[in-house]
Amino acid sequence: MHFYQNLHILLFIIIMIASCKESKSILKQNINLEKNNLKIIPLYQVKDFSDFDHSTKKEFLGIFMYNDKYELSDIYSIIKISINVEILDKNGVVSNVPIRIVASEKEKKSIIYLSLTDQYGQAKSDIIIPKKFTTLQLEIIMGNFIAEQMINLYENQKYLVEINRKYYFNQILKNVIFNQIDSDSDGVPDSIDSYPFDSKRAANIQAFTEFPLLIAVEEDFSEGGNLDYNDLVLQVSFEEDRDSFNNLVRFRGTFMLLAKGGHHSHILYLNFFGKGNYHSKLYNSKIQTINKISINLKPLQKIPLFLKSSKYLENFSNEYVYLTNQICKDYCNVYATKNIKTNFKLEVEMIFEEPIHNTSSPFPINLSLYNLNKNTEILILFTQKKEPNVLILPYGWNWPLEEADIFIAYPYFKYWLESNGEFYKDWYEKEHISYVFPYFYKNPLSAYLLQMNVQQSMIWAFLLIFITGILVFLFIKGRNESYD
């Protein structure tokens, strides 16, 4: 009987490990997505506001015009969207109206935008989101009322690139929008404020926590080298804290070097558009903290991602920096015959002294890769269209093996490239399995263990799956025997 009890416990632990990471993430996102029984205001589409006779309408309602734009998107796994929303009522333009946009993909939901309208009644901004999302919900919150609309992120083979909408309401909104609880007096009601008691922060944006990015670099693209795009593979996930006008006030990110082919040495650099206090914590492959660094950074000041010591800022000597071939040694994770290596993980936080308006860039950071052997630098630009040296791809992409051409490893990549992104948008999901390094697994347990830096091989990962199946069988058998 004790044997079966132990099996029950072990099975429970394995199942919880496999599911806890995603469940925690989803739970955190849902905290401020509730609308607390707000009354929904009907919206009617018109070609011109003068065409609608609202004088006979006594109920609270709104009318709107829109001119959204969809285009082909060849920024690999992210979309840049320009937002331009204007709010009017009987007295003209209305300021301080909360506008929120929530992105969805199946059960996952994430706030991607929150802002009050300005003195011109407008909420304007550029944002970057993962292509993994499928729909957006635009919400206009007015006291105990809400007007909401669903917007498709993808239509007729094209992606949404501009939300351009104008709304008119038949009530005086100033009499409505201030009828709400706002503990920190930042203009955003507590019901949708991620930080209801902090006037400097209103929204916690986690789109790239839900869907991390993979950055794959091919340095020899212009030199006729092998196009294996594994010279460096970096995983990036992050979240942002923004104020009530969508200005960036804090950034928190996690960076993991997953693979490195080639024999060159590199330094990965990070910089921000504003000045502030930078904090980082570096872990080794055994999840042990190597160092903690806290420094003050100037605007656009480059800092190596993987620092050994803050002394680097005194003389900029590379002896205080972990080079890529020190972190990811000996062509790591590019040969199928070798075991998977786990590498360093870096956690950073940047607290800006002044809010950063996103006219600087809709993406919160800049990254660059400096090659010490060639004395060259590659900029990783998240908002630029097809960059031959850099691929920005979704989490879960398995990169080509060393010296395996990406056109062979991913046969549809060529057709996607030739069509300028119009066709075969899912090329990165159709790999030739013999030519890619199988870092990511479909099984959630294996993926979770790998991301948690558990040293293992492919055999060990599949063995765990096999053991789980045996445990399930023994669990059921033991339960049946107990009934007998």
Q: Do 193 and 65 fall into the same domain?
A: yes
Cα–Cα distance measured from residue 246 to residue 244, given in angstroms and rounded to the nearest whole number: 6
Strands 39-40 and 145-152 turn out to be parallel
Say which residue, 196 or 177, is predicted with more confidence: 196
Q: In this structure, are 186 and 222 located in the same domain?
A: no
Identify whether 89 is part of a domain. Answer: yes
Predicted pLDDT at 388: 73
Per-residue pLDDT tens over the stretch 237-295: 999 999 999 999 999 999 999 999 988 899 999 999 899 999 999 998 888 999 999 99
Q: What is the pLDDT of residues 54-71, one digit of tens each?
A: 665 678 899 999 999 998
CB atoms < 10 A from the CB of 281, how many? 16
Q: Is residue 437 part of a domain?
A: no
Q: Which of 142, 174, 200 is the last residue of a domain?
A: 200
Is residue 459's pLDDT more than 70?
A: no
Residues 275 and 363 in one domain: yes
CB contact set of 378 (below 8 Å; sequence gap of 6+): 217, 219, 368, 369, 371, 389, 390
Q: Which of 341, 374, 405 is the last residue of a domain?
A: 405
Give me the sign of the Cα torsion angle 404, 408, 411, 413: positive
Q: What is the rounded distance in angstroms from the CA atom of residue 85 to the CA atom of residue 96?
A: 13
Structural domain boundaries enclosing 230: 212-405
**pLDDT tier for residue 330 given thresholds of 50, 70 and 90:** confident
Of 461, 410, 463, the C-alpha closest to 440 is 461
Q: Are residues 242 and 362 both part of a single domain? A: yes
In a domain, 219, yes or no: yes
Q: Which of 169, 200, 231 is the last residue of a domain?
A: 200
The answer on pLDDT for 13 being more than 70 is no
More confident residue, 382 or 94: 94
Q: How confident is the model at residue 385 (pLDDT cuts 50, 70, 90)?
A: low
Judge whether 163 and 171 are in contact, CB under 8 Å.
no
Q: Quick one: pLDDT band at residue 25, thresholds 50, 70, 90?
A: very low
Whether 464 and 457 have beta carbons less than 8 Å apart is answered as: no
Which residues have CB under 8 Å from 174's CB, separation 6+?
91, 94
| 48 belongs to a structural domain | yes
Domain identity same for 168 and 218: no
C-alpha span between 41 and 49 (Å, rounded)? 17
Token look-up 């890769």 returns: 369
- pLDDT value at residue 38: 84
Has residue 206 been placed in a domain?
A: no
271 and 175 in one domain?
no
Task: Name, of 108-112, 220-224, 439-443, the range with top average pLDDT.
Answer: 108-112
Is the residue at 183 inside a domain?
A: yes
Amino acid 286 reads K
222 plus 304 within the same structural domain: yes
Give the rounded percent of residues in the chain with a pLDDT score beyond 70. Answer: 79
Write out the two tokens for 186.
């930042």
Regarding whether 218 and 81 lie in a shared domain, the answer is no
Number of domains in the chain: 3
For residue 248, give the H/E element and its range. strand 248-259
Instruction: Tell me how crowded residue 254 is: count the other CB atoms within 10 A of its CB.
Output: 17
Does one domain contain both 167 and 133? yes
Instruction: Dump the DSSP string for 441-459.
Output: -SSHHHHHHHHTT--B-HH
Please tell me the least confidently modeled range out of 219-228, 242-251, 272-281, 466-475: 466-475
How many whole angstroms separate alpha carbon 387 and alpha carbon 68?
27
- Indicate if 216 and 159 belong to the same structural domain: no
Query: Is 416 inside a domain boundary?
Result: no
pLDDT-based confidence at 15, cuts 50/70/90? Answer: very low
pLDDT of residue 313: 84
Cα 265 from Cα 260, distance rounded (Å): 10
Coil, strand, or helix at residue 257? strand
| Pair 305, 320: CB distance under 8 Å | no
Q: What is the mean pLDDT of residues 295-303?
A: 91
Residues 238 and 213: their CA atoms lie apart, in Å, by: 9
Give the contacts of 31 (CB within 8 A, at least 6 positions apart): 194
Residue 446 near residue 461, CB atoms below 8 Å:
yes
Same domain, 192 and 249: no
Highest-confidence range of 38-52, 335-349, 446-460, by mean pLDDT? 335-349
Question: Do 367 and 334 reside in the same domain of the chain?
Answer: yes
Q: What is the pLDDT of residue 73?
A: 73
Q: How many residues does the chain have?
A: 484
* pLDDT for the residue numbered 443: 43
Among 99-113, 216-230, 427-441, whose mean pLDDT is lowest?
Answer: 216-230
Taking 70 as the threshold, does the pLDDT of residue 21 lie above it? no
Query: How far apart (Å, rounded) are the C-alpha atoms in residues 328 and 342?
Result: 8
pLDDT of 31: 43
Q: What are 265's two structure tokens?
A: 């040495």
CATH code, domain with 72: 2.60.40.1120
420 located within any domain: no
Sign of CA dihedral 304, 309, 315, 317: negative
Note the pLDDT of residue 341.
86
Q: What is the mean pLDDT of the chain?
A: 83
Average pLDDT value for residue range 313-328 = 89
